[in-house]
Each structure stands twice: as structure tokens, then as C-alpha cells.
Amino acid sequence: MLKSLTMLLAAGVECGVDTIVPIIIDRDMSNKDLSRTILLIEDYIDVNRIADTKGKNKFFKTKIELLNNELCLQLKDNTQKFSDFIGKSTMSPENQALVEMLFSNETLELDMTAGFQGNPNIGSVVLNQFDDSDIFKAFATNFSKGDKIFIISSIFGGTGASGFPLLRKILHTPNVKGSDGQDLPNWGLVNDALIGAISVLPYFMVGSATDNSLVNSDTFIDKSKAALSYYKTEDKKLDTFYYIADKRTTTYDHHKGGDEQKNDAHFVELASALAILDFVNPDKEKSNIHRNAEKKINYTTYKEFGMNADVAEINFNDLVDETKKLLINPLSRFMLFRNYMTMVFDKESKYQPYARKRFNNDFRKNETIKKLEAVQAQFYNWLQEMEKQNRRFSPFNLTTLSAFDFVKGDVSINESKDFMYKNWAKVDNELNSQIGKMDKALKNEQCFIELFYSTTEELINYKN
């Protein structure tokens, strides 16, 4: 989901805040999805450095910051087996018996490096040691007035399901002390901060276990129900609580974790990211936030995600106007940008004035630009992956070679002003026109991103 959020921010979707600080809490450090996300965010951060052009550019505009340059809240203890973690072997025989009653043998023998594999009961024990970590301290130190907190968790999983309520509780506990015994700084601000959360209900299944995994998607619904009933206690503890689920599911390959756990992107993740944007949107404050004079939460707003129709293949027309307006221009512009870079740039940059003496052969070897293109590649993959799901998000024709005909459905994204210029020539013409308007003080990379934003903004303008 963080990936979806990153993609949306890369595309320049409107965000009500200027910085997002993501913190991933996961014990499964070698999860391939996590690795991919970390790389993506690192690339994004690099590109974001050139995104502030003081011009029109919105691509990569929102800053993503990592606390202590780390994305993940590392849980200190590296003990692998659950029984070792709780120190069963050092317990008294009576306690050991209690433990054996509470947890199954498989659970006790669980190698936790791969996460809690759908056992929130373990997770809740283990994750209680949040407040000891360095990231948490950094979180507190860097927290300012006006900052908002948003918790994303899946209800049916292991780590996410167990961690969410714990986390919320700690954030609302006053005078929490760090590992050094000192009060964590700014904790009063943290207590009072606006807080939202999304709980992602089941939207996929897993195939049968290929190894000794305890994950079983048949149990997803039951576990969700169990967690939901617990979440009733979160009422009035959160300003806004978002829920999302999808009955139309795809079955993923079964890998309990490690570098094999690589699930394709899903529209639900994208929609979840929209929840964040909804929460931080200052225009939505009236509907999302209800606090009294003492800054205490009067009541929690509950929100669910809706579309125009329950279709297997979603394009922009199937989204409600608000969602459509939010997504269509940024995603289309970014798509055009990506398509141009992959299909046209190599050939045309030799001839077009906008590229002359600026974006020559070596330009693409620039580290930041390489990362920009890496993000674009990931953007494309992300769209491809979403297309493969049972509930396909397929707003674009991903195989077209045309410059403007890639938006599916009866959507008109631009007006043809210049009938003289068609297809990619139209884009080149606009690039050549825009380059003259660029601020001369901008560095090359900044100029590049500003140029492409201005151009795509001029060419793609969905109104209505």
C-alpha cells in the first residue's frame, strides 16, 4: 500500500501535507514486497530532491522522509523462535504449562523471522516492545505540532492485525519512556495529534501451502471478524477510521515470507492510499475531524471506499467523480511521461531543440534520472500487476504505442488545439514550446522534470 501511495505521489496526486514520513513495522525484513518498497521509496526520495523547482511541477513533489534514514521499525530482539522469544525455556514449569495451553506447538516453534504468519496472538506479544526501538525515539524527537498520524494495517494478516491496536495504544499513552528510561520528547504532541487509520480487510487468497506455513486464507474471514470485534474498542480513539475490502479476490502463490513473498499490486492498495490522502486533505477536515475544545475526540468518522459500479475491470469512468478527478490527470500525465521516456526519448532527443545541449546521451546516466526512470518502470509494473488481478484496475491501455489514446473508456483527456501536430509529434512540439518558458536558474535535472510536468499538464487536462 505504501507502494501505491508512493506511486500516487510520484504522479503528483494532490496531497494536503508537504511531507510524509512512512514507518513500516514488520519483523519479516526479507519480505520481497518490503524490499521492493524500500528501494522504491529510496528512489523517490532521491528524485524528490530535484522536484522542488518553484514552478509548476507536481511530479514527486510531496516529500517522503525517513526517520533515521530507516523505513522499518526494527524489533530489537533477533530471537527466531517464538518459544525462545518469550523465554519459555527459562520459565517455571507452571508458566511453561500455561504457555503450552495458550499456544499450539507449531506456534511455539514458529520461526518469527518470517513474520507472525497470520497469528496475531503471537504478534501482540512480540510487538509490545515497540517503545524500545530507536525509530520510535526518532519519531518522537521529530514530531511537531500539526503533524498527523495515520496507521495502516491489514486485519487478516499477522503482523498488521496484531500491531495496529497496540500501536494506537502506545501513541495515546502519556509519558512513555524510551529504552534509556527517559520520557520520549514531544510525547504530549503525539498524544494530541490528529490520528486516522485504515484497516484492510481480505481482498486476496493464497494457494495451498508449499512448505510448513501456517498461513491459510480460509481463515482470513474468521480472523477478520475476530479482529473487527476488537476494533470496536478503537471507537473515539481515532478521528477517522477507514475500512476497505474486496469480495472479488485473486489467489496468490503461497509463500509465507522471505524473498518469495511477492504479491502483485491490487487496486485495494491504491484505494487505501487514497484514504491517507483523504485524511490529510484540509478540505476534508470538517467531515473527518470532530474534536471538542479540549482537543478530545468527540466521535470517530467511519469511511468506506465506493465506486460507481461493481465491475471486474475498473477504468476511470467507474470511479466516482471525486476519485476520478483526483487520479485521472496525475496518473495520465505520469503515464505519458513514462511512455515518452521509454518509446520516444532515445530517438527524438537527438533532434529536438528542448533536449539539445541539455538532455544528451549522458543525461540518462545521471543517478537521479536513473532513479526517476526506475520509478517510472515500477509505475508501469504496478499498473500491469493491478491489471492481472481478478478485480482489475485497468485505466490505461498499457501496450499502445499512441501518445494520447491510452486512456480507456470514453474519456477525453485533452483538446486538440493544434491539428498540425499529431501523436508524439504533438508532445515534442509542446516540449519545444515549454522549454523556452523554463527558469534559466534551474539545474538540468530540475529543468527536465519541470519541463515534462508543464508539457504533460498542457497536453492532458481532463475537465468536467
Partner 1 sequence: MEELLGNIYCWFESIFGQYLAEHLWGYNCETLMYQRNLFNVIGLITIGISFVLVLAYYYLPLFLFNHPRSNRWWNWLIILLIAGIFNFFVAYGWTINDFLNGNIGDCLMYTRDSEGNIISQLIYKKDCWLFGLSNFFVSAMFFIAWSLIFKWWSRNCKYSPF
Least distance (Å) from partner 1 to the CB of residue 12?
Answer: 25
Query: Across the strands, what pairs with 19?
Result: 63
Least distance (Å) from partner 1 to the CB of residue 243?
Answer: 49
Least distance (Å) from partner 1 to the CB of residue 339?
Answer: 16
Give residue 162's identity as a one-letter amino acid code: S
Least distance (Å) from partner 1 to the CB of residue 422?
Answer: 9
Phi, psi for 146 (deg, rounded to 5): 95, -20
Least distance (Å) from partner 1 to the CB of residue 451?
Answer: 14
Least distance (Å) from partner 1 to the CB of residue 369?
Answer: 22
Nearer to partner 1, 352 or 394 (CB): 352
Nearer to partner 1, 26 or 430 (CB): 430
Nearer to partner 1, 204 or 354 (CB): 354
Nearer to partner 1, 310 or 346 (CB): 346
CA angle 191, 29, 126 (to 5 degrees): 55
Question: Sign of the C-alpha dihedral, residues 79, 171, 237, 62?
Answer: negative
Q: Which three cell numbers stand for residue 22?
A: 512512512
Taking the C-alpha atoms of residue 156 and residue 321, their distance in angstroms, rounded to an integer, is 31
Site for partner 1, rule CB under 8 A: 348, 351-353, 356, 418, 420-421, 424-425, 428-429, 432-433, 436
Nearer to partner 1, 74 or 432 (CB): 432
Nearer to partner 1, 154 or 434 (CB): 434
Least distance (Å) from partner 1 to the CB of residue 397?
Answer: 23
Least distance (Å) from partner 1 to the CB of residue 55?
Answer: 19
Nearer to partner 1, 79 or 432 (CB): 432
Nearer to partner 1, 188 or 353 (CB): 353
Taking the C-alpha atoms of residue 258 and residue 35, their distance in angstroms, rounded to an integer, is 10
Taking the C-alpha atoms of residue 249 and residue 246, their distance in angstroms, rounded to an integer, is 7
